[in-house]
Protein backbone atom coordinates (compact mmCIF):
# COMPACT_ATOMS: atom_id res chain seq x y z
CA UNK A 1 0.00 0.00 0.00
CA UNK A 2 1.33 3.43 -0.94
CA UNK A 3 0.48 6.31 1.41
CA UNK A 4 0.35 10.00 0.60
CA UNK A 5 0.22 12.14 3.74
CA UNK A 6 -2.51 14.81 3.84
CA UNK A 7 -1.98 15.89 7.44
CA UNK A 8 -1.94 19.70 7.77
CA UNK A 9 1.46 21.03 8.92
CA UNK A 10 0.15 22.29 12.26
CA UNK A 11 -0.88 18.73 13.22
CA UNK A 12 2.40 17.03 12.29
CA UNK A 13 4.28 15.32 15.12
CA UNK A 14 6.04 17.74 17.38
CA UNK A 15 4.15 20.86 16.27
CA UNK A 16 0.79 20.63 18.03
CA UNK A 17 1.67 18.98 21.36
CA UNK A 18 -1.23 16.57 20.87
CA UNK A 19 0.51 13.39 19.79
CA UNK A 20 0.62 12.41 16.17
CA UNK A 21 -2.79 12.43 14.54
CA UNK A 22 -2.45 11.95 10.80
CA UNK A 23 -4.43 11.44 7.61
CA UNK A 24 -3.15 9.61 4.55
CA UNK A 25 -4.72 8.72 1.23
CA UNK A 26 -4.03 5.42 -0.49
CA UNK A 27 -3.75 4.51 -4.15
CA UNK A 28 -7.09 2.68 -3.72
CA UNK A 29 -8.98 5.94 -2.96
CA UNK A 30 -9.17 5.24 0.76
CA UNK A 31 -8.08 7.20 3.82
CA UNK A 32 -5.89 5.90 6.61
CA UNK A 33 -6.37 7.91 9.81
CA UNK A 34 -4.34 7.94 13.02
CA UNK A 35 -6.17 9.33 16.02
CA UNK A 36 -7.10 8.76 19.64
CA UNK A 37 -9.12 5.72 20.71
CA UNK A 38 -12.60 6.38 22.01
CA UNK A 39 -13.34 5.56 25.63
CA UNK A 40 -15.70 2.68 26.39
CA UNK A 41 -18.41 5.23 27.23
CA UNK A 42 -17.90 7.02 23.90
CA UNK A 43 -17.99 3.73 21.98
CA UNK A 44 -21.24 2.80 23.73
CA UNK A 45 -22.86 5.81 22.04
CA UNK A 46 -22.14 4.07 18.72
CA UNK A 47 -23.40 0.65 19.80
CA UNK A 48 -24.58 -1.40 16.84
CA UNK A 49 -22.63 0.73 14.36
CA UNK A 50 -19.12 -0.71 14.80
CA UNK A 51 -18.44 -4.00 13.02
CA UNK A 52 -16.09 -6.60 14.48
CA UNK A 53 -13.38 -5.62 11.98
CA UNK A 54 -13.69 -1.84 12.60
CA UNK A 55 -12.13 0.55 15.11
CA UNK A 56 -13.38 4.01 15.98
CA UNK A 57 -10.96 6.88 16.54
CA UNK A 58 -11.27 10.61 16.93
CA UNK A 59 -9.21 13.48 15.58
CA UNK A 60 -9.40 17.22 16.01
CA UNK A 61 -12.09 18.58 13.70
CA UNK A 62 -9.76 21.36 12.55
CA UNK A 63 -7.41 18.75 11.06
CA UNK A 64 -10.11 17.46 8.70
CA UNK A 65 -11.44 20.96 7.99
CA UNK A 66 -7.91 22.07 6.98
CA UNK A 67 -7.60 19.16 4.56
CA UNK A 68 -10.89 20.07 2.86
CA UNK A 69 -9.67 23.61 2.06
CB 22 within 8 A of CB 5: yes
Domain that holds residue 58: 3-68
The number of folded domains in the chain is 1
Whether the CA torsion 53, 28, 6, 24 is positive or negative: it is positive
Please give the pLDDT value at position 42. Answer: 96
Single pTM value for the model: 0.78
Please give the pLDDT value at position 3. Answer: 96
pLDDT digit string (tens) for 16-54?
Answer: 565 688 999 999 999 999 999 999 999 999 999 999 999
Amino acid sequence: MKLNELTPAEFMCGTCGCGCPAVFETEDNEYVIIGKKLTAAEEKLLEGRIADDEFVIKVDRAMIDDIKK
